Structure 1
């Protein structure tokens, strides 16, 4: 089931090709980003380019801003009125056009469209899938994951383009099984293991459930045994740790399992299984600890349970934007 390109959903189109729903979703995401303290200058500049590109953008942003205002007194970036262009109108219009092209390319990169175009197999957001390969190996794809398969007489190579995949490898010493994501390579030594590409708030990671895995980077190497994981630090070095791998891989059974984890980590995980964003608004809420088992196919129910069991409130600005804060 292929994802439709953005702007081609059912419903009426706006002047710039977005549906009314699509424009509302974009505006809601800009509202969330502009109220964030860690919004970068580049993001603010991109916001202003988007705002001036179409009069409908300012109107949609103001609507979302008004809805957000009902949730609390939080300062937002005001929607600017289009300014009269001077003699350099043609030059500025050209610059704005290039910026919009850049934003479109950035969207294709972040949304996964580029990775899916390059993939042999992929999953949508919230979908999981099991593949059987020609040699008997099996691959479980987590949400929003894309892989390319390259089998030859000498090796079996999987390129993880995005997301997370679990590998149940059929032994064949003559054809090593290798997974790479661009920053590291994980070579199976007859095993069950998973590899996650770094994306958003979740770090790049290799986890071993059974057997051994040799993980290498340009500067480091580690051989992992069952229950061990590695992540990459800021210097590109492998950081080894022990982890409850069975809980971490419960997504293969349609479940998300947490044991005393901070709410921030739980929401980061839930976000991987739904469209839009979950924004946590204060550190007191972020530090709440969560233990429980949730159905990854029903993240809305998970949010209801969290609100009922923790001193937090959950507010939905739209289907695409959820805010969590202390109460």
Structure 2
């Protein structure tokens, strides 16, 4: 068990180092970024070593076109450790490593989850929050207010009635005030704006441009033009993750894989439109995405190839 924990720590360190390489090499790196990097290095000498290793690899890979040459480098890697390291750096270069690290938000949060983790937490007022994968939540509770700030990811709230102290969830450019209810809030994901979905009760949702009151079964998504777009999805299906399940009804494979990708480290790439358009219905366990991938490969005309522990390729067969 100790050996597995050590491996997990090293994997996390490599991810963080990859994020720093990508960030500091970026033209928009700020003084605050450099200060944060210095503090990260100071916490553990191994952090600086990991950064130096990946920084050297960056010099080898940064001119390679995406994705063909980089995938060829991955295939050519003979040692599992080096292949895994190259995979981590590839994710950082393409922006995925940074998006899945989330260390800044976790430092600011009162409660957080790692990639693939779903956890329920009791709030000070008797309410309950369930944090989805890779989520960070900050609490601001006092005598007059109950406010939670979703810094990252997605959370589901079961709100204890307390009319004198409104329960307010804040995330990106949306604010949701619960009127004794159960609802979920998700930040921007896969090109879709932040959203609020109500399973029970009513929720007042406000953006900079608009305000609307949602009832059970309603969802509001912030559009690119600032409008709140209302819909009536299957909310119970959407929030099944809080019970450890992912439920899909006639969804395109590309969407299913994007969701599965949120529960595992690394990336799932679909190489052709024929595979991406395959339709799928099913129920999968959030704790076993490898089993889900095996099921998809067995039931659809697609092949699943694992290049490293951090890279999965899906294509038609």
TM-score bracket, normalised by the shorter chain, equals 0.7 to 0.9
Q: Pick closer, same or farther for the CA change 1:14–1:118 going to 2, 3 Å.
A: closer
Report if the CA contact (8 A) 1:166-1:194 is conserved. Answer: yes
Larger radius of gyration: 1
TM superposition shift of 1:121: 0.4
Partner of 2:170: 180
Which deviations, in whole Å up to 9, do the C-alpha atoms of 1:91-120 show, x marking residues without a partner?
A: xxxxxxxxxxx98x9966652011001101
**Which residue, out of 280, 289, 308, partners 1:318?**
308
Q: Gapped runs of 5+ residues in structure 2?
A: 17-45, 78-91
Q: Pick closer, same or farther for the CA change 1:62–1:280 going to 2, 3 Å.
A: closer
Note the 1:163-242 alignment, pairs <5 A: 163-201=153-191, 203-242=193-232
Tell whether 2:129 aligns with 1:126: no
TM superposition shift of 1:153: 1.5
- The TM-score with structure 2 as length reference comes to 0.74
Tell whether 2:40 aligns with 1:7: no
Report if the CA contact (8 A) 1:109-1:115 is conserved. Answer: no
Partner of 1:266: 256
**Which residue, out of 94, 99, 102, partners 1:112?**
102
Distance of 1:268 and 1:8 partners within structure 2: 20
Q: Gapped runs of 5+ residues in structure 1?
A: 37-57, 68-101
Q: Pick closer, same or farther for the CA change 1:176–1:293 going to 2, 3 Å.
A: same
Report the 3-state secondary structure (helix = DSSP H, G, I; strand = E; otherwise coil) of the residue aligned with 1:294.
strand
Partner of 1:81: none
Partner of 1:17: 50
Instruction: Give the ranges of 4+ consecutive aligned residues of structure 1 lying more than 4 Å apart after TM superposition.
Output: 1-5, 13-16, 29-33, 105-110
Distance of 1:200 and 1:30 partners within structure 2: 25
Q: Pick closer, same or farther for the CA change 1:8–1:185 going to 2, 3 Å.
A: closer
**Structure showing the higher helix proportion among its residues:** 2
Distance of 1:121 and 1:14 partners within structure 2: 24
Partner of 2:73: 63
When the two chains are superposed, the root-mean-square deviation of aligned CA atoms in Å is 3.5
TM superposition shift of 1:154: 1.5
Which deviations, in whole Å up to 9, do the C-alpha atoms of 1:227-278 show, x marking residues without a partner?
A: 1111111112110000111111111111111000111110110001000000
Q: Pick closer, same or farther for the CA change 1:15–1:163 going to 2, 3 Å.
A: closer
Tell whether 2:298 aligns with 1:308: yes
Q: Pick closer, same or farther for the CA change 1:33–1:313 going to 2, 3 Å.
A: farther
TM superposition shift of 1:33: 8.0
Distance of 1:108 and 1:175 partners within structure 2: 37
Report if the CA contact (8 A) 2:154-2:184 is conserved. Answer: yes
Distance of 1:287 and 1:32 partners within structure 2: 29
Distance of 1:8 and 1:233 partners within structure 2: 32
Tell whether 2:132 aligns with 1:142: yes
Report if the CA contact (8 A) 1:314-1:325 is conserved. Answer: yes
- The TM-score with structure 1 as length reference comes to 0.72
TM superposition shift of 1:6: 2.7
Distance of 1:32 and 1:291 partners within structure 2: 38
**Which residue, out of 237, 240, 246, partners 1:247?**
237
TM superposition shift of 1:62: 6.0
